[in-house]
Structure 1
Amino acid sequence: MLEKENAKELDVQSDWVQSYISSPEKLQQLYKRTLLVVVISQIFGGAGLAAGVTVGALLAQDMLGTDSVTGIPTALFTLGSAGAALFVGRLSQRFGRRSGLAAGFLAGGIGAIGVVMSALTNSILLLLISLLIYGAGTATNLQARYAGTDLANSTQRAKAVSMAMVSTTLGAVAGPNLVDYMGGFAISIGIPALAGPFILAAAAYILAGLVLLILLRPDPFIVAKAISDVQSTSSNLPLKEDSNLLSINKRGIFAGAAVMVLTQFVMTAIMTMTPIHMGHHGHSLKEVGLVIGFHIGAMFLPSLVTGYLVDKIGRSFMAIASAITLLISGVLAALGPDDSMAVLITALALLGLGWNFGLISGTAILVDAAPPSTRAKTQGSVDVLVALSGALGGVLSGMIVAGSSYSTLTLVGGVLSLVLIPVMIWSHKNKK
């Protein structure tokens, strides 16, 4: 049904495709319109993501009654995001970005509603299932960044990613700082306070999905793929790629994936346990929201500058900058006073910034290397690994802190991030 709709909507024939190829102005208009729609959806998506991240661990701690499993919520919704990333990637490859992204956000909204219901009924099983489904919103929030790159050339890709990401900032920063208000609202309607932010998450994710479903037409991925197909046919390009080019592409895909996977692992592990660590040292829920708000703001707000730097001074340079920034964050969090808000805000902001550098540079490396014919599917597969690394980070973070300390966790994460440096050196070895 969707295939027929897309075929009818876009009428992928040589004359239609040629109208975009022969008119850069028309293609540029579609590119700008696509970015605008993605920006609007990401504002809502950011609120949905941040609200759940802020209190997920605290809700689990409250319902499960122990600290050692407080990494489970992050693990579950990142594990759920792994399955969703694969699903959204495959759906986008077959039907276009509109169908894939809208489905992912709507599923995330349903998961958030389930979390609220689990808190209301005190059902642990429903909580665990709902967090898994809620992860679809997390995956879609990340996958949306690819929609901005579909119609961008090689010198615009990082900036296109940054446009999609920076628009998440408004919702992402507002979400944690609405924790108190949403908690009060939840209590007023007979729902536990910690479930309040998930009411916001449900509304935000559903709105993000509807924006994409209604407004993302024509679909940027279908347009880009059609143009690539026509250009390849008209150029009489051989079906088999040059073996050296294929080798470079595989190396680029691996390098891009490695950057995103490692930065996601380190960031998620430290972020997951920070609210618990703060709770143990007498910080209020409002202070937790403030620290996480700065962290998520740093994850997305610098994106425009980061995108410019990635396009200007290089993908590898910014990937290495990511590793160094994460190291500084880990050392600062480990050595700073536990009761210092200034230290916690700075460390978590640097953690978000290091993740930002890694995600944008890694995404650009991946888009450069993946051919249009398999790009969405490859992107979805890589985001599965990114999500799984986050799930692993969430699980291990609770175990490490329970068995050792928060300082050990942050130091290990910071040192681990330095693996990106030899990966970047290897990716350029024998490259011509």
Structure 2
Amino acid sequence: MTSPDNVAFAAAPAPASRRNAITLSCLQALGGASPAIVIALGGLAGQQLASRPELATVPITAYSLGLAFGTIPAALVMRRLGRRYGYVIGALLGMAAGLISAGGIYLQAFALLCLGTLFAGLYSAYVQSYRFAAADAAAPQFRTRAIAWVMVGGLFGAIIAAQTIIHTRNIWPAVPYAAAFIAQACIALLALPLVLSLRIAPPAAAQQARGGRKLAEIARTPRFIVAVLAGVISYALMNFLMTATPLAMVGCGHTVSDATLGIQWHILAMYGPSFFTGRLIERYGKIAITITGVALIGVACSVALSGLDIAHFWGTLIILGLGWNFGFIGATSMVTDCYRPEEKSRVQALNDFLVFGSVAIASFSSGQVMARGGWQTVNLIVYPFVAVVLLALAWLWLRERRGGSGLPA
């Protein structure tokens, strides 16, 4: 039996699929700037306002919790109202997020800052579904490339976020970082015209009627289990390391600008390879590229443990971003093989809930481990998780070579 990783993708995308993918890529650029601002500044702002050092990353954890717990409600909203109206709600949440976070910093209210970043997570629950929206609107042979096209938008999100931070941080010197969060709200506002230009079929036309297999049955299939595991570990480990890095850099005597530029390079590495990741998956297979991505996360930790210069921190962030790109896009592409059209809303929501729930745990744990064990411990923890996922992916690859891909009939 032919494995899905051996299927050739040769057909050209339909104009409508291409147009939607480009629009969603632009939305990803705007939506991707929001988490970049939260991650780059959330820990530093939290450090100023928190009562104890180990609570510094709680704003980032609040963001991750909003993202995790927002995935299922977002899926239900989009299933009932359609993706376009759902994305309007998401953009409004993004605007509220920036304004609430800025208000928390202005009022020196740590809880209000965390509420704002929680709203940013709820916004990102909609943003994260852009990749599935592009895949669902595309022909099967274009799905992997459509996902990669959308992820390219994150490349520009990194640039938007970094430049926003650099040009707004001194606007309001008495209230550090507040202006950046106000800019975050303005960026979310810019998404609304693009959302309204989307041409995505309404829920009934998109085959979202009841039916299909039970979710528990789908969740037991080997390909889904391994795909979700790869997505969880790729994203959670990336977040675990990325959350701690700005704190480690500042703690080692590097400047906030150095840390911000490091996050910019990291996010560029996260999304830049998307220009060719889709083609690499088509050529070498989803499992092979996912294995490469997870292995690169382990390499990033080795670079981090080799020194504390800017080059070591930036090298770690760049390799980590590249590993996330291959690992997460590969895992997402694997998930799209696991469901029928009428099952997609439930399966996508379950996948994202598991992925981003794990990310929330990782971001909170990062601050705790950093405060108690230091930068070296943060990196050493990663290796066992990398090993487990590599073994699971290798097992699935061997299983599917022998036959029985576990794809929906």
Q: TM-score with structure 1 length normalisation?
A: 0.84
Gap change, CA 1:385 and 1:206, over 3 Å in 2: farther
Match 1:394 to one of 363, 368, 372: 363
In the alignment, the residues of structure 2 paired with residue 240 and residue 270 of structure 1 have an alpha-carbon distance, to the nearest angstrom, of 39
Deviation at 1:371, TM superposition (A): 1.2
In the alignment, the residues of structure 2 paired with residue 331 and residue 297 of structure 1 have an alpha-carbon distance, to the nearest angstrom, of 21
Alignment partner, residue 365 of structure 1: 334
In the alignment, the residues of structure 2 paired with residue 103 and residue 352 of structure 1 have an alpha-carbon distance, to the nearest angstrom, of 29
The 5 A counterparts of 1:115-194 are 115-187=101-173, 192-194=175-177
In the alignment, the residues of structure 1 paired with residue 153 and residue 72 of structure 2 have an alpha-carbon distance, to the nearest angstrom, of 24
Gaps of 5+ in 1: 1-23, 230-238
Deviation at 1:221, TM superposition (A): 6.6
Deviations 1:263-320 (A, max 9, x none): 1110111100111111111111111111000001111111121121112211111111
The one-letter code sitting in structure 2 at the alignment partner of 1:225 is Q
In the alignment, the residues of structure 2 paired with residue 87 and residue 330 of structure 1 have an alpha-carbon distance, to the nearest angstrom, of 35
Gap change, CA 1:29 and 1:300, over 3 Å in 2: same
The 5 A counterparts of 1:46-85 are 46-85=32-71
Deviation at 1:203, TM superposition (A): 1.3
Alignment partner, residue 219 of structure 1: 201
The question of 1:206 aligning with 2:192 is answered no
Deviation at 1:220, TM superposition (A): 7.5
In the alignment, the residues of structure 2 paired with residue 146 and residue 317 of structure 1 have an alpha-carbon distance, to the nearest angstrom, of 21
Number of aligned residues:
387
The one-letter code sitting in structure 2 at the alignment partner of 1:270 is L
Alignment partner, residue 251 of structure 1: 222
Which one has a bigger Cα radius of gyration? 1
In the alignment, the residues of structure 2 paired with residue 65 and residue 128 of structure 1 have an alpha-carbon distance, to the nearest angstrom, of 13
8 Å CA contact 2:62, 2:118 repeated in 1: yes
In the alignment, the residues of structure 2 paired with residue 120 and residue 61 of structure 1 have an alpha-carbon distance, to the nearest angstrom, of 15
The 5 A counterparts of 1:262-277 are 262-277=233-248
Match 2:270 to one of 268, 293, 299: 299
Q: Which stretch of the first structure deviates more once superposed, 118-127 or 388-397?
A: 118-127
The one-letter code sitting in structure 1 at the alignment partner of 2:227 is G
Deviation at 1:64, TM superposition (A): 1.0
Q: Secondary structure at the match of 2:56?
A: coil
The one-letter code sitting in structure 2 at the alignment partner of 1:46 is G
Q: Secondary structure at the match of 1:368?
A: coil
Gap change, CA 1:357 and 1:184, over 3 Å in 2: same
The one-letter code sitting in structure 2 at the alignment partner of 1:348 is L
8 Å CA contact 1:159, 1:304 repeated in 2: no
Deviation at 1:250, TM superposition (A): 2.6
Q: Secondary structure at the match of 2:53?
A: coil
The question of 1:351 aligning with 2:320 is answered yes
Gap change, CA 1:248 and 1:153, over 3 Å in 2: farther
In the alignment, the residues of structure 2 paired with residue 414 and residue 331 of structure 1 have an alpha-carbon distance, to the nearest angstrom, of 9
Alignment partner, residue 7 of structure 2: none
Deviation at 1:192, TM superposition (A): 1.2
8 Å CA contact 2:223, 2:396 repeated in 1: yes
Q: Secondary structure at the match of 1:184?
A: coil
Q: Secondary structure at the match of 2:341?
A: coil
Alignment partner, residue 114 of structure 1: 100
Deviation at 1:345, TM superposition (A): 1.1
Deviations 1:207-253 (A, max 9, x none): 224421x1112437765438xx8xxxxxxxxx887xxxx77983222
In the alignment, the residues of structure 2 paired with residue 153 and residue 71 of structure 1 have an alpha-carbon distance, to the nearest angstrom, of 41
In the alignment, the residues of structure 1 paired with residue 275 and residue 377 of structure 2 have an alpha-carbon distance, to the nearest angstrom, of 33
Identity of aligned residues (%): 25
In the alignment, the residues of structure 1 paired with residue 191 and residue 22 of structure 2 have an alpha-carbon distance, to the nearest angstrom, of 13
Greater fraction helix = 1
Q: Secondary structure at the match of 1:178?
A: helix
Deviation at 1:105, TM superposition (A): 2.9
Gaps of 5+ in 2: 1-10, 405-409
8 Å CA contact 1:89, 1:381 repeated in 2: no
Q: Secondary structure at the match of 1:225?
A: coil
Alignment partner, residue 86 of structure 2: 100
In the alignment, the residues of structure 2 paired with residue 42 and residue 209 of structure 1 have an alpha-carbon distance, to the nearest angstrom, of 12
Gap change, CA 1:179 and 1:146, over 3 Å in 2: same
8 Å CA contact 1:176, 1:293 repeated in 2: yes
Gap change, CA 1:137 and 1:390, over 3 Å in 2: same
In the alignment, the residues of structure 1 paired with residue 288 and residue 31 of structure 2 have an alpha-carbon distance, to the nearest angstrom, of 29
8 Å CA contact 1:116, 1:195 repeated in 2: yes
Q: Which stretch of the first structure deviates more once superposed, 132-141 or 51-60?
A: 132-141
8 Å CA contact 2:38, 2:117 repeated in 1: no
8 Å CA contact 2:38, 2:60 repeated in 1: no
Q: TM-score with structure 2 length normalisation?
A: 0.88
Deviation at 1:427, TM superposition (A): 3.1
